[in-house]
Amino acid sequence: MQISKAFLALAAASLLFAGGCAKQRAPATKALESVETSLNAVREDARKYAPEGLKGVEAQFARLKDSLDKKEYDNVLAGAPQLEKAVASLKDAVVAGEKHAKAALAAARSEWDALNTEVPKMIENIQTRVDEQSKKKIRFKVSKEELESAKSGLEWMKTEWAEATAAVDSGNQIKAADKGKAVKAKGEEVQKTLGMKEA
C-alpha cells in the first residue's frame, strides 16, 4: 500500500513537472522567435558593418536554440532578455559602422580627386626626367644605380596607378585612394633620387 502511494505521488509529481514544462515551452519558443526575427532584420547589414558583434550575438542565439531543443525552457526564458539587449546593441553598432563607412568613403573620394590631378602629372614628369637622364652618357647628379632604381620605381608607380584607377571604376574608392597615396609617396621618393626635389 505504501509502495502504491509512493508511486502515485511520484507519478503526480511527474505530471506536474511535465505540465510546468509544457507551460514554459510556448513562452520560451515565442521569446526566441522574437529575438530571431530582430536578428534576421539586422544580420545582412551587420555582416558589413559589425561582423565581430554579429558573431557574438549569433553564438548567444545558438546556445539558447540548443537549450530550447533540449527543453531547457528556464535557460531560454532567462537568457532571451539579455539576447534582446545584445541584438539592440548590434543594431547600434551597425548604425555607427555605417556612419563611419560613409565618412570614410567621402574622405576617400575627396582624396582621390586630389590624387587624380597630382599623380598623373607626377608620373609624366618623372618619365620625362628618366628619359632625359637615360640619353646622357655622363651624369653628374644621378648615378647609374640611382637611375635604374628610379626606372624600377616608375614602373611600380604605373602598375599601382593602373590598379587604383581600376578600383575607382569598380566603385572601390577607399582602395583607390589608398593605392593612390602609396603611388604619390613613391613618386616623391623617386623625384628625390632623380634630383627633382630637395631631399
37-80, pLDDT tens digit by residue? 999 999 999 999 999 999 999 999 999 999 999 999 999 999 99
Output the CA–CA distances (angstroms, integers) from residue 116 to 35, 141, 150, 154, 191, in the order listed: 48, 30, 21, 17, 18
State the Cα–Cα distance between residues 62 and 83, nearest whole angstrom. 11
**Count of domains in the chain?**
2
The reply to whether 77 and 121 lie within a common domain is no
The reply to whether 90 and 122 lie within a common domain is no
Compare 18 and 55 and report the one with higher pLDDT.
55
Q: Would you state the pLDDT for residue 86?
A: 96
The cell 632604381 sits on which residue? 149
Residue 4 has pLDDT above 90, yes or no: no
The reply to whether 178 and 114 lie within a common domain is yes
Residue 74 lies in a domain: yes
Mean pLDDT on 136-161: 89
The reply to whether 107 and 90 lie within a common domain is no
Per-residue pLDDT band at 141 (split at 50, 70, 90)? confident
Residue 198 lies in a domain: no
Residue 18 has pLDDT above 70, yes or no: no
The residue from 78, 99, 120 where one domain ends is 99
Q: What is the pTM of this model?
A: 0.64
The residue from 99, 119, 149 where one domain ends is 99
Angle between helices 73-135 and 51-69 in degrees, nearest 10:
150
Residue 11 has pLDDT above 50, yes or no: no
The reply to whether 130 and 188 lie within a common domain is yes
* Burial of residue 83, with CB atoms counted within 10 A of its CB: 0-12 exposed, 13-18 middle, 19 or more buried: buried
Q: Domain of 127?
A: 100-193
Count of residues for the chain?
Answer: 199
Q: Mean of the per-residue pLDDT values for the chain?
A: 88
The reply to whether 8 and 95 lie within a common domain is yes
The reply to whether 110 and 173 lie within a common domain is yes
Q: Per-residue pLDDT tens for 150-197?
A: 999 999 999 999 999 999 999 999 999 999 999 999 999 999 999 886
